[in-house]
Chain A
Amino acid sequence: MSKANLLDRRAVVSELLRDRKGAFAIGGLGASTYDIAAAGDHDRNFYLWGGMGGAVMIGLGLALAQPTLPVVVITGDGEMLMGMGSLATVGLQQPKNLSIIVLDNEAYGETGGQTSHTGGTADLVGVAKACGIGNSRAISTMAEVEAFASSLQDVMAGPRFASAKIDGANLERVLSSRDGTYIVNRIRGSIGHTPI
């Protein structure tokens, strides 16, 4: 199933988070959450195991609440397609500290590899651009991933959107915590909020 010249998803995410500083990272349910876990656990990792279609909106809520810190949503094409309207909502709000990157394998990898709309006719970069996210691009090299990784630290120039076509191989799952209350309270704790 692997095609030539596609990026390795773990390498992409590892590069995105290598020098993350204070950034929050939200992972859409499924493989992108495993990719974030594989890059190393962090108290600002927002792992999702459900709520499909919600990753970008979680990122927006967090970005608006913490405008001086970078927020990056790392999700898959299926998850992004389910929440496509949220790109219009982000376009309207123009959060300067929010970055979104779709790891696009053109398939629903978690459920057996069924082809997604991006493998056919849908162009998520075009959608993001048309929704008012002017800085939207397709990424196909690790050099572009590196450039995106350093740009997400600029909290005055977002929102930005990228789609990286990745190799569709199913990699070994790296399981993060799936206790939502723990995950959220750990993030809150990292910015100085105590439990109620």
Chain B
Amino acid sequence: MHARAETAASWPEEIFSILQRFEVRQVPYVPDAGHSELIERVLGSSSMRGIALTTEEEGVALLAGAWAGGQRGVLLMQSSGVGNCINMLSLVQIFRLPFLTLVTMRGEWGEFNPWQVPMGSNTQGILELSGIKVLRASRPDEVREVVEAGAAQAYNACTPTAVLLSQRLIGAKVFTK
């Protein structure tokens, strides 16, 4: 009970606070159920701009422009979106961007939909091959410190970082008729 009282804020709320503290201004996203609470917070915020994308690679390019213009951003997407980004992730290395992405995972931990598995299984590998450090949070009580570490190394050290938010954390999507 005590532990619950200490972590009263939901993990999406904790992520939102971290993004505020790091003065994130642009938040491009392709919607995902796992990010829905955070996206709502961003869209209701006066200091951040949520930017809906048609495909995730747009977000990588947007963040390059934001950085050139002096603003920090974070890309919110689902694991399948990482595959859509591959060529555009060249910009992260070429511009030495302070790149941060928060990726909600599918295709693992009790997945129902087999179509999510191939990309979900390769998400981490693809990010690493693209020169991006990968951190992972699997339990609600570790989200804050993992996202905080990711944001710090991305923004302070220009070390491109992806934080994977495990399906175990989010809960496997339930498909009912």
Residues of chain A touching chain B, judged by Cβ–Cβ distance below 8 Å, are 24, 26, 46, 50-55, 57-66, 83, 85-86, 88-89, 92-93, 180-181, 183-184, 187-188, 191-193, 196
Q: Which B residues are CB-close (under 8 A) to A65?
A: 25-26, 65-66, 68-71
What are the nearest 8 A-B pairs in CB distance?
A61-B65, A65-B69, A85-B54, A54-B61, A180-B94, A57-B61, A61-B66, A58-B65
B54 x A62 contact (CB < 8 A): no
Shortest B100–chain A CB gap in Å is 14
Residues in B neighbouring A51, C-beta threshold 8 A? 61, 64, 87-88, 90-91, 94
Instruction: Contact check, A89 vs B66: say whether CB atoms are below 8 A apart.
Output: no
- The chain B residues found within 8 Å of chain A, CB to CB, are 25-26, 49, 51-55, 57-71, 73, 87-88, 90-91, 94-96, 98, 156, 158
CB neighbours of A181 from chain B (8 A): 94-96
A52, A93, A188: the one contacting B68 at CB < 8 Å is: A188
For the complex, give the distance between the alpha carbons of A63 and B49 in Å: 13
Complex alpha-carbon distance, A33 and B158, angstroms? 26
Q: How far is the CA of A50 from the CA of B69 in the complex (A)?
A: 20
The answer to whether A57 and B94 have CB atoms under 8 Å apart is no
In the bound complex, CA of A29 to CA of B87 (Å)? 13
A55 to chain B, nearest CB (A): 8
Compute how far the CA of A193 lies from the CA of B136 in the bound complex, rounded to whole angstroms: 32
* Residues from chain A with Cβ under 8 Å of B68 in the complex: 24, 46, 58, 61-62, 65, 184, 187-188
